[in-house]
Amino acid sequence: MTTNDQIIINQVINGDTNAFAVLVDRYKDLVFTLAMRMLKNREEAEEVAQDTFVKSFQKLDRFKGDSKFSTWLYRVAYNTCLDRIKKNKKHLNDVEINEFTAHQVRALDNILDSIEEKEKSEIIIACINNLPSEESFLLTLYYFDELSLDEISTIVGINSNAIKVKLFRTRKKLAKLLKLQLEPEIIEHYERERR
């Protein structure tokens, strides 16, 4: 946690409630992105992001500082999303996965190199959005927020070995989705080059 976060948290706890706006401003984009990954719905993600900040404000005195503030906040976001999913009783279909080897996951990296950065990240985000809630949440924390396995473990409440296994399986699913998405893109890319 940045010492800056702790200074602001202390100000809030000591009665300067306006200081909380700094934390909201600092983390609102990522909390919204995480909610979006899990709920797949903009309006609901906005509501959950708002609920997350309300809950974290109310429980700020319970934050002990034994993890980074962001880790604690993402856990609140994760649990708030789970509550919303239970409430909505949404059943999201899993992407079917056949045997997909680590070699094929690596081969995808080479394919991705042939596509422009901006286009690449749009394709990856689109594919992540097609994964089930928890999996897209994990990938967001791991790849976009670059959290460690231990930090993710703290947020999700599962040990880091289980997270490693889940991430590997999720990456295989993502690789399969990317392959389906990219093959037409690449064929089109090469056809353009040959004209």
| Residue 94: band (very low, low, confident or very high) from pLDDT cuts 50, 70, 90 | very low
Which position has the higher pLDDT, 69 or 99?
69
* Structural tokens at position 66: 């034994």
Contact 17, 59 (CB under 8 A): no
- Domain ranges for the chain, please list them: 3-88, 102-194
Q: Whole-model pTM?
A: 0.62
- pLDDT tens by residue, 67-76: 899 999 999 9
Give the whole-angstrom CA distance, residue 121 versus residue 12. Answer: 37
Concatenate the DSSP letters of all residues of 27-70 into one string: HHHHHHHHHHHHH--HHHHHHHHHHHHHHHHHTGGG--SSS-HH
CATH assignment of 102-194? Answer: 1.10.10.10
Concatenate the DSSP letters of all residues of 102-118 into one string: HHHHHHHHHHHHTS-HH
Give the whole-angstrom CA distance, residue 46 versus residue 36. Answer: 8
Contact 48, 81 (CB under 8 A): yes
Q: Say if residue 116's pLDDT is above 70.
A: no
The stretch 42-51 carries a mean pLDDT of 92
Q: Say if residue 187's pLDDT is above 70.
A: no
The single residue listed with the structure tokens 């719905």 is 41
Contact 84, 133 (CB under 8 A): no
Average the pLDDT over each of 72-81, 120-129, 163-172, 183-192 and give the range with the smallest value.
183-192
* Proportion of the chain above pLDDT 70, given as a percent: 75
| Residue 93: band (very low, low, confident or very high) from pLDDT cuts 50, 70, 90 | very low
Report the pLDDT value the prediction gives residue 10, as an integer from 0 to 100: 92
Neighbours of 192 (CB within 10 A): 8
| 145 DSSP assignment | S
* Structural tokens at position 86: 């239970």
Q: Say if residue 184's pLDDT is above 80.
A: no
Q: Burial code of 7-27, b = ≥16 C-beta within 10 A, e = fewer? A: ebbeebeeeeeebbeebbebb
| Residue 80: band (very low, low, confident or very high) from pLDDT cuts 50, 70, 90 | very high
Report the pLDDT value the prediction gives residue 172, as an integer from 0 to 100: 85
* Structural tokens at position 13: 């706890």
Q: Say if residue 142's pLDDT is above 60.
A: yes
Report the pLDDT value the prediction gives residue 32, as an integer from 0 to 100: 94
CATH assignment of 3-88? Answer: 1.10.1740.10
